[in-house]
Amino acid sequence: MQYTFQRNSDQAPARRLIIYFCGWGMTPATVSHLTLPDQCDLLVLYDYRILELSDDPADLPWNSYEAVTIVAWSLGVWAAEQVVPHWSILPTKQRLIAVAGSPYPMHDQWGIPKQIFVGTLEGLTDENRQRFNRRMCGGKRYKQLYDILSERPTTELRDELQAVYDSLATPEASGSTPHTRLAWDLAIIGERDQIFPAKNLSTLWKAVNVPTLLLPDGYHYLFDLWQSWSDLWAPIK
């Protein structure tokens, strides 16, 4: 994985770290408009061709934080499930929010239907990628995002999706009863999501007893609905 680190604690020591797992093919620019709370730093992770961090995670200032909030979007939910349980260096006080994603990214009942997932992988071209972006963004509603979404080459995205698919093509990756490795506090779902069907996400999160927030006008990309990172965890009681 690649990462960027943004410090927002020049005036005072940071107390909380936000770790954000991007969706497939995304870059940190897709959430650059969200403001950070005071005394809070941001680590953004992306590019899941390899799940290890591009640098040693021990080099990051984990010990300076009292708490961590993990926000994962789309395929980032799956990525977080793969790596966070192995990061014992994280603060024990944690809050976890899943946005428009599932620990089962390729699943007919709990994620993206397998036929669609495989079809996207096998038929990915520059033209198909534009259609995917339109579905993700709800048509042309987020035209301003298209330049951001084209930053990474199609060949790189294909390799990333292939790496995810290869890790899912095992019996234990599907199973008959859903479970999660992480204790998610909230799952946010866009009712108009054209990537992860809202029905599948609702079924999954209900089965594992995670509270959900259904946004009636929400598509797959939901971050335009918020101005600050703190808006995401405001619904958590």
Distance from chain centroid for Cα 65: 22
CA dist 69 → 26, 155, 159 (Å): 20, 32, 29
The ranges assigned to domains in the chain are 2-233
Do 114 and 107 form a contact (C-beta atoms < 8 A)?
Answer: yes
Confidence class of residue 184 from pLDDT cuts 50, 70 and 90? Answer: very high
pLDDT at position 171: 53
Can you tell me the mean pLDDT for 210-229? 93
Residue 91 CB contacts under 8 Å (≥ 6 apart), including other chains? 17, 62, 65, 66, 67, 68
Give CA–CA dist 110/112, Å, rounded.
Answer: 7
The token pair that represents 98 in the structure block: 């899943």
In sequence order, what are the beta bridge partners of 190? 215
CATH of 2-233, picked from 3.40.50.1820, 3.30.300.30, 3.40.50.720, 3.60.15.10, is 3.40.50.1820
Q: What angle, rounded to 10 degrees, do the helices at 126-137 and 154-168 form? A: 70
pLDDT at position 126: 77
Do 94 and 68 form a contact (C-beta atoms < 8 A)?
Answer: yes
pLDDT at position 193: 92
Can you tell me the mean pLDDT for 219-235? 92
pLDDT in tens, 129-166: 777 766 666 655 555 566 666 778 888 889 999 999 99
More confidently predicted of 87 and 176: 87
Confidence class of residue 62 from pLDDT cuts 50, 70 and 90? Answer: confident
Can you tell me the mean pLDDT for 15-28? 91
Tell me the pTM.
0.91
pLDDT at position 226: 94
Give CA–CA dist 218/221, Å, rounded.
Answer: 8
Using CB atoms within 10 Å of the CB of residue 51, give its burial: 0 to 12 exposed, 13 to 18 middle, 19+ buried. middle
Confidence class of residue 26 from pLDDT cuts 50, 70 and 90? Answer: confident
Confidence class of residue 13 from pLDDT cuts 50, 70 and 90? Answer: low
Instruction: Give the chain's mean pLDDT.
Output: 86
pLDDT in tens, 194-215: 899 999 999 999 999 999 999 9
